[in-house]
């Protein structure tokens, strides 16, 4: 198979800039980086940055580094360093040898701090945090210089060395860059670049008790790694002048360019570590990998293939506008992929027993079922059929409304890959609850076609009662009831109380018994599912990844339920 068309190049303002830089010879190649702080789990919002950085590197034959921005030991843990690597790999990206840590540069960064002092561009400030805030001024009033602003380089150097040596307590002094206390950009009002923290660092242990801030570490780390384009989110726009200031005033080995883009937001969920942490801590979900969570670990556990996330990111694009992507677009990406890849199976989640009264007692037979109508190579399998079967309760109505085409008293429908059946009798218990249906089948319709050409308006899925495998199936809905949680009030108040529904006693066709964990299946007419990590031998648990598009549900809604 060949084509003359070149694949449509995804383009956005960042790729445009990079293309120009390459064309003009400003750079020979590209080096990007994904720089998470190891203080939490990655979520789908991060995948935009990951796909962008690794994607651009791949498209331009460059490299993308994975760098942990571990400058604040209070919040960081090795556990996160592990999980982040697992998640990035799962998403489908590889940093090769290029794994770095900002903490690897602590000594170099410290040297640059002394360099700044010697040039009269930094000073040790004895003001307290509160005083610094007061002196900083406000959004509309300029700041005032600290009384320590004009200390001599010699004294500053001595003080910084003593800070490093551990002579002072946390918060007693800080090192500040001497820039402009009257700047309209508050980030330039002598930002703190080193603080004292007598805290062990996950990687450097007790080697340091002073740590550089993000502003003093990030651009310089980029420069050390010869990053050409440092892509970050919009909230860092105001930090760019500072980023550039350090690159200009320090003897760094290269001059990276920071470019900002809008972060990914998705409706009906939240994407901030703070909020996600609260969901876990307050027990609204069962952990970071709860299948309802937008964390990569949660999405993975739910059964979503990583390719679906990459496709979503491609479709969303990259721009500078604050936006909220419709969750439906994500669902579409999942369905689009799984429709093509997932094998079909039959499973009944809410069983209603039917007895085929004219089918011989004790008999059974095997019927051929297609594995994936979208993929002829997927072949077919045999499914057992017998006198007693289960169908979905929703597929029968004693008193059907207009447009309900499924089973009803006196009505004939098709059992997929099996026979036409007609419902003759409805059996109820003493409460009036339907407990069983008595039907007859037409032996001439074996396989699902009537030789006389008669049609039927519905095809139902089913499972033979004698052969069924039992399983628990977990159904998920949006975590939040509103598109933008917390738009008015606490986001927790917008939680969807019905985001999880557990169905036990579900009946699966026997081929699902030994199903391989990690693989996705379509339960015909119901949606895409995957085994949960809670599955055990003989105690299967499936997660619903996403439903199928459901036109009948829409009709029902239009009819007023």
Partner RNA sequence: UGGGGCGUCGGCAAGUGGAAAGCCACCGGGUUUUGGUCCCGGCAUUCGCAGGUUCGAAUCCUGCCGCCCCAGCCA
> CB 471 → RNA: shortest distance, Å?
18
Catalytic residue flag (residue 273)? yes
The rounded distance, in Å, linking the Cα atoms of 236 and 243 is: 10
x/- binding map, residues 55-74, to RNA, per CB under 7 A?
--------------x-xx--
* 531, β-bridge pairs: 542
Residue 127 binds RNA (CB under 7 A): yes
Q: Which parts of 331-350 interact with RNA (CB under 7 A)?
A: 331-332, 335-336, 339, 344
Catalytic residue, candidates 149, 263, 320, 556? 263
> CB 93 → RNA: shortest distance, Å?
19
- The pair of three-digit structure tokens given for residue 56, joined into one six-digit string: 């651009």
Residue 444 binds RNA (CB under 7 A): no
Residue 447 binds RNA (CB under 7 A): yes
The rounded distance, in Å, linking the Cα atoms of 425 and 438 is: 5
Residue 164 binds RNA (CB under 7 A): no
Residue 328 binds RNA (CB under 7 A): yes
Looking at 9, 24, 97, 321, which residue binds RNA (CB under 7 A)? 321
Residue 448 binds RNA (CB under 7 A): yes
> CB 414 → RNA: shortest distance, Å?
6
> CB 47 → RNA: shortest distance, Å?
14
Residue 198 binds RNA (CB under 7 A): no
Catalytic residue, candidates 151, 173, 240, 273? 273
Looking at 144, 249, 315, 503, which residue binds RNA (CB under 7 A)? 315
- Helix (H) or strand (E) holding 344, with range, is strand 343-345
How many residues sit close enough to RNA to count as binding (CB under 7 A)?
91
The rounded distance, in Å, linking the Cα atoms of 214 and 70 is: 9
Looking at 96, 283, 360, 373, which residue binds RNA (CB under 7 A)? 373
Looking at 17, 207, 234, 444, which residue binds RNA (CB under 7 A)? 234
Chain mean position to CA 127: 43
> CB 517 → RNA: shortest distance, Å?
22
* Pairing, β 210-212 against β 31-34: unpaired
Catalytic residue flag (residue 281)? no
The rounded distance, in Å, linking the Cα atoms of 264 and 310 is: 13
| φ, ψ of residue 237 in degrees (nearest 5) | -55, -45
The smaller minimum CB distance to RNA, of residues 95 and 101, is found at 101
> CB 447 → RNA: shortest distance, Å?
4
DSSP per position, 22-85:
HHTTS-SS-EEEE---SSS--BHHHHHHHHHHHHHHHHTT-EEEEEE----TTT--HHHHHHHH
The rounded distance, in Å, linking the Cα atoms of 514 and 535 is: 11
The smaller minimum CB distance to RNA, of residues 98 and 375, is found at 375
Q: Comparing C-alpha atoms, which of 14, 9, 19 is closest to residue 60?
A: 19
302: three-class secondary structure by DSSP: helix
Q: Report the interhelical angle of 306-316 vs 44-59 (nearest 10°).
A: 80
Residue 488 binds RNA (CB under 7 A): no
């Amino acid at each position: 198979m060949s084509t003359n068309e070149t694949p449509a190049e995804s383009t956005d303002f960042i790729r445009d800039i990079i293309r120009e830089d390459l064309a003009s010879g400003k750079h020979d190649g590209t080096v990007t980086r994904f720089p998470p702080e190891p203080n939490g789990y990655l979520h789908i919002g991060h995948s935009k940055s990951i796909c962008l950085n690794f994607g651009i590197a791949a498209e331009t034959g460059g490299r993308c580094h994975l760098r942990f921005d571990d400058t604040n030991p209070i919040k960081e843990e090795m556990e996160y360093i592990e999980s982040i690597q697992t998640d990035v790999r799962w998403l489908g990206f590889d940093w090769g040898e290029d794994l770095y840590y900002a903490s690897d540069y602590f000594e170099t960064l410290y040297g640059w701090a002394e360099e700044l002092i010697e040039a009269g561009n930094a000073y040790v400030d004895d003001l307290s945090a509160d005083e610094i805030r007061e002196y900083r001024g406000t959004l509309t009033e300029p700041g005032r210089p600290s009384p320590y602003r004009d200390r001599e380089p010699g004294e500053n150097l001595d003080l910084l060395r003593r800070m490093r040596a551990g002579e002072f307590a946390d918060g007693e002094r800080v090192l500040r860059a001497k820039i402009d206390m009257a700047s309209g950009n508050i980030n330039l009002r002598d930002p703190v670049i080193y603080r004292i923290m007598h805290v062990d660092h996950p990687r450097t242990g007790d080697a340091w008790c002073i740590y550089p801030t993000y502003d003093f570490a990030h651009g310089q780390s980029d420069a050390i790694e010869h990053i050409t384009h440092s892509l970050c989110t919009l909230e860092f726009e105001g930090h760019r002048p500072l980023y550039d200031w350090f690159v200009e005033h320090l003897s760094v080995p290269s001059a990276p360019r920071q470019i900002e883009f809008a972060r990914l937001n998705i409706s009906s969920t939240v994407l901030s570590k703070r909020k996600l942490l609260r969901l876990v801590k307050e027990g609204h979900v069962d952990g970071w990998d709860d299948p309802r969570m937008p964390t990569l670990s949660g999405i993975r556990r739910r059964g979503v293939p990583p390719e679906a996330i990459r496709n979503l990111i491609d479709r969303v694009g990259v721009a500078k506008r604050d936006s909220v992507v419709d969750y439906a677009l994500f669902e579409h990406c999942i369905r689009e992929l799984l429709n093509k890849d997932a094998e079909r199976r039959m499973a009944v989640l809410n069983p209603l027993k039917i007895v085929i009264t004219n089918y011989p007692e004790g008999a059974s037979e095997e019927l051929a079922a297609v594995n994936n109508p979208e993929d002829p190579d997927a072949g077919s399998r045999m499914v057992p059929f017998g006198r007693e079967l289960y169908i979905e309760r929703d597929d029968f109505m004693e008193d059907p409304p207009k447009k309900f085409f499924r089973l009803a008293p006196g009505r004939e429908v098709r059992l997929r890959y099996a026979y036409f059946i007609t419902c003759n009798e409805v059996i109820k218990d003493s409460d009036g609850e339907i407990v069983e249906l008595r039907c007859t089948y037409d032996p001439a319709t074996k396989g699902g076609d009537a030789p006389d050409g008669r049609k039927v308006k519905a095809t139902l899925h089913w499972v033979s009662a004698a052969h069924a495998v039992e399983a628990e199936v977990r159904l998920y809905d949006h975590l939040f009831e509103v598109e933008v949680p917390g738009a008015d009030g606490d986001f927790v108040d917008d939680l969807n109380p019905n985001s999880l529904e557990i169905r036990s006693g579900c009946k699966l066709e026997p081929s699902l018994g030994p199903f391989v964990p990690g693989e996705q299946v379509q339960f015909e007419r119901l949606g895409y599912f995957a085994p949960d990590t809670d599955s055990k031998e003989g105690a299967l648990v499936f997660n619903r990844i996403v439903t199928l598009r459901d036109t009948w549900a829409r009709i029902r809604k239009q009819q007023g339920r």
